[in-house]
Structure 1
Amino acid sequence: MTLLPQTELTAADREHGLRLLIIEALFSGGAAALTSGVILTAFALHLGASNVMVGILAAMPFLAQLLQLPAIQLVERWRRRKQIAVFASLIGRTMLAIMAALAFFSGTTALLIFLAAQMLLCGLGAIGGCAWNAWMRDLAPEERLGEVFSRRTIWLTVISLVLGLAAALALDWTRAGSAARNGVFAAMFACGCVTGLISARIVAMMPEPVMPPAAGRLELRALLSQPLGDANFRRLLVFVASWQFAINLATPFFTVFIVRRLHFAVSFVLLLSVASQIANILALRLWGRLSDKFANKSVLAVCAPAYILAIVAMIGASQLGDRTMVKLWLVGLHLIMGATIAGVTLASTNIALKLSPRGSATAYVATNAITTALAAGIAPILGGLLAQFFAARQFELVARWSSPGGVLTLPVLLTAWDFYFLIAGLIGTYAIHRLSLVRETGEIERRAMVGQVLNETRRSIRNISSVAGLRAATDLPGALLRDAQTRIRLKRAQQARTRPMR
């Protein structure tokens, strides 16, 4: 095993690297599932984090992406992508061991160490990710990019769902603030550290082709000037910035709202996250078909308003009195958000690529990524400050109906988080307005797009309820088996052809 790039890569080397790429997904996905997202927020709350600290934690992964700009210069100058990716992974994942030890401490010092460790982890992850992306683009053959990374995505999703459920059960069996809860969090981050280091070891075993000669020095000003001078793309950037600001103002604090305001267990929040991921996976194929058939903007015109309405509808959870109804309400909202964010993510990425002129896609995509990182990074920090402001304020609206039979009074009490979700909804509405100004060929009216969604959904339900649909639901394992058998037969045939004649 060497960390140096190889001047020549044989077909066998490349295939070996692609197999390791899929295996590595199990370990990197496991590390992320056990130490990020809802679990990271829950751990911060366990240590006593304030709303501002939760906002800073949510902002770190986005703001860290800005380090990809100097990372590009580092990759271009050093030209050893494997070394950068491996070293960044090793040092960054070691921070998870520090976080695991912090599970047994509390107070300001523990929180500051936790924030510093997370900051270093995110920063090194962004630098390593820059080198990793450039390396994978050269390792995987262009005609197999979709196949390889779709398989990798499937395994990442599966391991995330499995470990998410396991984490929910582990947290459900322990009491908040107990020594057992300390042990559960410590075990999660320790396991995340171990799986992350195994991931780095597998990455070190993958071959790296030598980078082609440098085309010249990359100037940031020259990189950004063309997309910022494109009027239609600027309109898209305004939509992206306002949209990312709106959703990242609210979504990082769902865990805080559900745990502290609604008094549900962290395990329930993890189950909501799993439900959202399942809805995301199931809806992704539908949005992909519709974006290819019509336009990405048409998909956004349906998904974006639905997602914003779901954020505002979180207010309903604090108005309902029955705990079972609140649970059902939250599950329904997370299913809607999971399904619609799949369409928003897919379509917003595609439309940025579609509006990028041939030969300048790198500059346009980089500008879009910088805009996303800035908006999504600033929003949670400001959101944490707003949450602190509204915590001591409330607004009560009373609706009174008088009749000969008596008086019916319906009080509506808006508390801290209700204000918060309303503000996110208003900014999201502005983002949707900005989307209407973007021009894309092939777009259709929102009403027509809703009709297409309903038709596709009815078709899917009919297929599932029929014998053919039941057969299709069981086709995946069989298809995988047949695919594996075909590859084995092909490999044997190739070996037979290359075997010397006696």
Structure 2
Amino acid sequence: MWLRRTLGLSQKEAVASATMTATGDNFFNAFAVYLQASALQMGWLTAIPQLFGALSQILSAWLGNYLPRKPMVVITAMLQALVVSALALLAILHPQNSVNWLIALAVLYFACTNFIQPQWRAWMGSLVPQRRRGAFFAARTRLTMIASLIVFAGGGVLLNFSASLSVVWVGFALLFSIAAIGRTLSARLLHLMHDPDPRPHPERRNGFRQSMSQLYSSLHDKTFRDYSFFVAGMQGVVAISAPFFAVYMLSDLGFSYLQYSLNAIASIVTQFLTLGFWGRFTDKYGNRIVMQFCCFTIPLIPVLWMLSPDFYYLLVVQMVSGFVWSAFSLSTANYLYDIRPHRSDFAVYAATQSALGALAVFVGAIGGGLIAAVAPDVFARFDIGTGLESWIISPLFLVFAATTMLRLAVALWFVPRAREPRIRRRPGVLQLIYRISRFNAITGVSLDWLSVTRKSRPKDQDAE
């Protein structure tokens, strides 16, 4: 009885939390544009929260050895609700240094999200029966995506309406207030859920030091090291331009907030709908070929953005982008599982790659901010010619050109090093669960693994 009730509460919690995540990952940049953030501040808004988010996961893993996970999750969720409420207050008060306040609150927001993630993953792994995991998380993902898209589209309509009345601050205040209410309800539902393993395990406390040692030693494996540097490098060079698509659409092209939201939704929906296709494709042809496809299509995406400012054309570009990022997200997640050494901890390898990615995003976003800051002066100093002047409609094209060349450089470095690993027999969907943990219209869906369980084998054999 308690299991059925808890699983039902978890599905409701997915909808409640989606009202917050739909705003946090996709309206922060729009809010920063409204607050007139500088190019450097836009870079900081992406760089600093991502770095602190990765650190908070490590902190969570360590504290989980000493503290019960359910109170950690619930208290952090309540803290996150307060952070989002503070964002609504920021929109209302609009104090001096508003952008700096936004960056600080974004740091707390992403720190809370990442702090919860390891504990929530462990909680759900012990809660959901193995035979029901595939169906349960598929249904939960559908609920999350539907709720997120509704909130995202509704947020665009709300901001559009408030802009027509010249009270955009009211729209952002209401949007963040709704998000805070959703997170508060989420925390309440988490509090009501049952935890079948409520106490920490003292016998596992040495595992953290061992994991940190394995984090370091994992990079001695050349295949894994090349893969990690590729994924982290691509994430880093993508972060050069990621903060500035919102600036380009809202400031340079004059898109409405509704057009901005619809543009993002086009990518998100495409990513969600094509994950199944890419899953079947990688099962049949392998992950290496898909990763190579991504290597030479991801660099083209910023170029497509520069070809035309037409709203409907950019919707098509976003659908192409979603198709490519869906392939990248799934193939790199599968490839990581295939190349990890026999009998190794998948979580450790995923954590290593995540930490490298966060560091690369930090460097890339800061670099993108610096390029965007000097771009107007670059175009003012050099005579770029009458023909080019009619095409280059924004100094941000310098950022898009830089990220294109660096994406191509990362791809050219990795392709000759990529190898098709021996395809190990992967656990079935009931044993290895990938779920969409969050999404971003520019950089794709984020896939989070839930659990890898041992197969039934003779006692003298180890399962992978």
Q: TM-score range by the shorter chain?
A: 0.7 to 0.9
CA distance in 2 between partners of 1:330 and 1:298 (Å):
27
Paired position in structure 1 for 2:184: 197
Paired position in structure 2 for 1:383: 368
Q: Tell me which of 244, 247, 265 is aligned to 2:235.
A: 244
Q: Does 2:113 correspond to 1:113?
A: no
Paired position in structure 2 for 1:160: 148
Q: Name the stretch that deviates more: 217-226 or 428-437.
A: 217-226
Q: Does 2:304 correspond to 1:313?
A: yes
Q: Tell me which of 310, 334, 351 is aligned to 1:366.
A: 351
Higher relative contact order (CA 8 A, sep 6+): 2
CA distance in 2 between partners of 1:113 and 1:420 (Å):
25
In the TM superposition, residue 249 of structure 1 has moved relative to its aligned partner by 1.3
Does the Cα contact within 8 Å between 2:15 and 2:143 map onto a contact in 1?
yes
CA distance in 2 between partners of 1:122 and 1:214 (Å):
30
Paired position in structure 2 for 1:175: 163
Report the RMSD for the aligned CA atoms in angstroms: 2.2
**Structure 2 counterpart of 1:58, which letter?**
T
Q: Does 2:155 correspond to 1:188?
A: no
Paired position in structure 1 for 2:123: 135
In the TM superposition, residue 122 of structure 1 has moved relative to its aligned partner by 1.7
**Structure 2 counterpart of 1:364, which letter?**
Y
Q: Does 2:414 correspond to 1:435?
A: yes
Say how many residue pairs are matched: 414
What is the correspondence of 1:34-433 to structure 2 with a 5 Å cutoff?
35-63=23-51, 64-78=53-67, 80-175=68-163, 178-179=166-167, 181-210=168-197, 214-217=203-206, 218-219=208-209, 221-317=212-308, 326-360=310-344, 361-394=346-379, 397-398=384-385, 412-413=391-392, 415-433=394-412
Does the Cα contact within 8 Å between 1:62 and 1:377 map onto a contact in 2?
yes
Q: Relative to 1, partners in 2 of residues 1:205 and 1:316: Cα closer, same or farther, differing over 3 Å?
A: same
Q: Name the stretch that deviates more: 412-421 or 40-49.
A: 412-421
CA distance in 1 between partners of 2:49 and 2:299 (Å):
22
Does the Cα contact within 8 Å between 1:62 and 1:376 map onto a contact in 2?
yes
CA distance in 2 between partners of 1:95 and 1:160 (Å):
19
Q: Relative to 1, partners in 2 of residues 1:387 and 1:418: Cα closer, same or farther, differing over 3 Å?
A: same
Alignment partner of 1:332: what SS? helix
1:270-293: CA deviation from partner (whole Å, max 9, x where unpaired): 110111111112211111111111
Does the Cα contact within 8 Å between 1:396 and 1:413 map onto a contact in 2?
no
CA distance in 1 between partners of 2:118 and 2:174 (Å):
30
Q: Relative to 1, partners in 2 of residues 1:177 and 1:381: Cα closer, same or farther, differing over 3 Å?
A: farther
CA distance in 1 between partners of 2:212 and 2:389 (Å):
58
Q: Relative to 1, partners in 2 of residues 1:224 and 1:191: Cα closer, same or farther, differing over 3 Å?
A: same
Does the Cα contact within 8 Å between 2:65 and 2:204 map onto a contact in 1?
no
CA distance in 1 between partners of 2:386 and 2:182 (Å):
56
**Structure 2 counterpart of 1:366, which letter?**
A
Alignment partner of 1:393: what SS? helix
Q: Relative to 1, partners in 2 of residues 1:357 and 1:276: Cα closer, same or farther, differing over 3 Å?
A: same
Does the Cα contact within 8 Å between 1:47 and 1:107 map onto a contact in 2?
no
Does the Cα contact within 8 Å between 1:48 and 1:106 map onto a contact in 2?
no
CA distance in 2 between partners of 1:410 and 1:422 (Å):
15
CA distance in 1 between partners of 2:202 and 2:94 (Å):
51
CA distance in 1 between partners of 2:188 and 2:316 (Å):
41
In the TM superposition, residue 253 of structure 1 has moved relative to its aligned partner by 1.2
Q: Name the stretch that deviates more: 232-241 or 140-149.
A: 140-149
Alignment partner of 2:377: what SS? coil
Does the Cα contact within 8 Å between 2:286 and 2:420 map onto a contact in 1?
yes
In the TM superposition, residue 383 of structure 1 has moved relative to its aligned partner by 1.1
CA distance in 2 between partners of 1:67 and 1:276 (Å):
29
**Structure 1 counterpart of 2:7, which letter?**
L
Alignment partner of 1:76: what SS? coil
In the TM superposition, residue 92 of structure 1 has moved relative to its aligned partner by 1.7
Alignment partner of 1:29: what SS? helix
1:372-426: CA deviation from partner (whole Å, max 9, x where unpaired): 11112332222112100112222555599xxxxxxxx996547521111111111
**Structure 2 counterpart of 1:425, which letter?**
T
**Structure 1 counterpart of 2:185, which letter?**
I
Alignment partner of 1:91: what SS? helix
CA distance in 2 between partners of 1:254 and 1:415 (Å):
11
In the TM superposition, residue 176 of structure 1 has moved relative to its aligned partner by 6.9
Q: Relative to 1, partners in 2 of residues 1:167 and 1:301: Cα closer, same or farther, differing over 3 Å?
A: same
In the TM superposition, residue 216 of structure 1 has moved relative to its aligned partner by 4.4
In the TM superposition, residue 435 of structure 1 has moved relative to its aligned partner by 2.9
Alignment partner of 1:73: what SS? helix
Alignment partner of 2:37: what SS? coil
Alignment partner of 2:396: what SS? helix
**Structure 2 counterpart of 1:156, which letter?**
T
In the TM superposition, residue 240 of structure 1 has moved relative to its aligned partner by 1.0
CA distance in 2 between partners of 1:314 and 1:143 (Å):
45
In the TM superposition, residue 152 of structure 1 has moved relative to its aligned partner by 1.0
CA distance in 2 between partners of 1:131 and 1:223 (Å):
20
In the TM superposition, residue 75 of structure 1 has moved relative to its aligned partner by 0.3
Q: Does 2:5 correspond to 1:20?
A: no
Does the Cα contact within 8 Å between 1:103 and 1:186 map onto a contact in 2?
yes
**Structure 2 counterpart of 1:387, which letter?**
A
In the TM superposition, residue 143 of structure 1 has moved relative to its aligned partner by 3.0
Q: Relative to 1, partners in 2 of residues 1:143 and 1:427: Cα closer, same or farther, differing over 3 Å?
A: farther
In the TM superposition, residue 37 of structure 1 has moved relative to its aligned partner by 2.9
Give TM-score scaled by structure 1 length. Answer: 0.78
CA distance in 1 between partners of 2:113 and 2:75 (Å):
10
